[in-house]
């Protein structure tokens, strides 16, 4: 995607998959991936060595932190600072976009059955 000079229609891209918590690459920005994902249910508590940005496209997402919860509605953004333990939660399916460094690991140093090691480009 990086450097292809093509626009990306997020609705079209979201229609290409149905699985949850499996980010897909839809573009690149410098040394960052632009990712989209569908999420439903509770993910896993984890941290990253880099900041992570969540942008809600559709639905309502809760970013659980150890001391509070951040509720995000469509059009809202929240940045989880590096090193902050967090756990995304979605009662109903939510469509999100994330921008994060290409070196960011899906679940940080934690490896579970939900961990994705390589992201598909769609």
Pairing of strands 86-101, 52-58: antiparallel
Task: Confirm whether 4 is domain-assigned.
Answer: no
pTM for the whole thing? 0.86
Taking the C-alpha atoms of residue 120 and residue 33, their distance in angstroms, rounded to an integer, is: 11
Structural domain including 15 reads 10-121
Domain count of the chain?
Answer: 1
Average pLDDT over residues 16-36: 94
> What's 62's domain CATH number?
2.60.120.10
Task: Confirm whether 5 is domain-assigned.
Answer: no
pLDDT for res 120? 75
The answer on pLDDT for 2 being more than 80 is no
Task: Confirm whether 60 is domain-assigned.
Answer: yes
CA distance readout (Å), 36 to 67, 68, 77: 27, 25, 14
The answer on pLDDT for 1 being more than 50 is no
The half-sphere exposure of 34 on its side-chain side, counting CA atoms within 13 A, is 13
CB-CB contact of 101 with 32 (8 Å): yes
CB-CB contact of 61 with 90 (8 Å): yes
Task: Confirm whether 2 is domain-assigned.
Answer: no
pLDDT for res 88? 95
pLDDT band (50, 70, 90) for residue 79:
very high
Task: Confirm whether 49 is domain-assigned.
Answer: yes
Q: Which two tokens stand for residue 116?
A: 């994705």
pLDDT digit string, tens, across residues 33-73? 999 999 999 988 988 888 989 999 999 999 999 999 999 99
Task: Confirm whether 3 is domain-assigned.
Answer: no
pLDDT for res 107? 58
Least confident of 38-52, 73-87, 97-111: 97-111
């Amino acid at each position: 995607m990086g450097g292809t000079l093509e626009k990306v229609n997020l609705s079209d891209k979201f229609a290409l998959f149905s699985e949850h918590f499996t980010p897909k690459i839809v573009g690149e920005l410098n040394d960052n991936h632009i990712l989209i994902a569908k999420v439903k249910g509770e993910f896993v508590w984890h941290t990253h060595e880099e900041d992570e940005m969540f942008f809600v496209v559709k639905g309502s997402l809760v970013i659980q932190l150890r001391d509070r919860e951040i509720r995000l509605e469509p059009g809202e953004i929240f940045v989880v600072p590096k090193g902050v333990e967090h756990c995304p939660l979605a009662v109903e399916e939510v469509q999100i976009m994330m921008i994060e460094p290409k070196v960011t690991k899906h679940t940080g140093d934690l490896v579970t059955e939900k961990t994705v090691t390589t992201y598909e480009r769609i």
